[in-house]
Amino acid sequence: MALFLVTAKQPRAALIWCAAIVLCAATMGALKLGLAACGRPLASVGLTSPSGHAAMSAAVYGGFAVVIATTHTRWLRRAARLIALVLVIGIALSRLILHRHTALEVAIGLAVGCSALLVVVVGIRRRPPRDLAFLWLLAAAAIVAAVFHGERWPAEQAIHHLAGRFDLLHAWCVRGA
């Protein structure tokens, strides 16, 4: 999306997009790192690792819908919003169905992702991009999906490895009675 917006001569929109996605990823990384470094202090309430999939799907797919909705016809705006909603809900439910996360972890991920989405909404509404070629965006998204289909990024393993190296985080951990 950022590359698409830059090539569409919308650098402000690209900057807003990047800020929102980085904010979402950094927040999720900090939450996961903090919980891992503290030895999972909230596991008893079902919180060991908030869902990054839920967070990023809300930010990314919701952000796509927001950008598309700024410059296109009513039916395309509605379709984009509906598709984004279906994808976000489907991904959130998949985390539960596959037993990868608890409902609380998915809810936290969705809250973080929706917060990042709000950054896109506010930023784009102030000065919406004009004349975006939707078909080029669709083509770029299809290429990215094809290239990365089936790829697994070992983010969780990297966070656990990093958490083991951050002894200084232990001072912030809540100690049991």
Q: What is the pLDDT of residues 42-68, one digit of tens each?
A: 767 778 889 999 999 999 999 999 988
Please give the Cα distance from 20 to 158 (Å, whole number): 22
Query: pTM, whole model, 2 decimals?
Result: 0.82
What mean pLDDT is predicted for residues 106-132? 92
Decide if pLDDT at 37 tops 80.
Answer: no
Decide if pLDDT at 172 tops 80.
Answer: no
What percentage of residues in the chain have a pLDDT greater than 90?
45
What mean pLDDT is predicted for residues 141-156? 70
State the Cα torsion 66-68-71-75 to the nearest 10°. -100
User: Which of these, 89, 129, 88, 95, lies nearest to 5 by C-alpha position?
Assistant: 129
Decide if pLDDT at 171 tops 60.
Answer: no
Decide if pLDDT at 140 tops 70.
Answer: yes
Neighbouring residues of 57: CB distance < 8 A, sequence distance ≥ 6: 87, 88, 91, 92, 113
pLDDT tens per residue across span 1-13: 888 888 888 999 9
Residue 103 is predicted with a pLDDT of 95
pLDDT tens per residue across span 58-99: 999 999 999 888 877 888 889 989 999 999 999 999 999 999
Residue 102 is predicted with a pLDDT of 94
Picking from 28-32, 57-61, 109-113, 148-152, which range would have the lowest pLDDT averaged per residue? 148-152
Q: Is 1 helix (H, G, I), strand (E, B) or coil?
A: coil
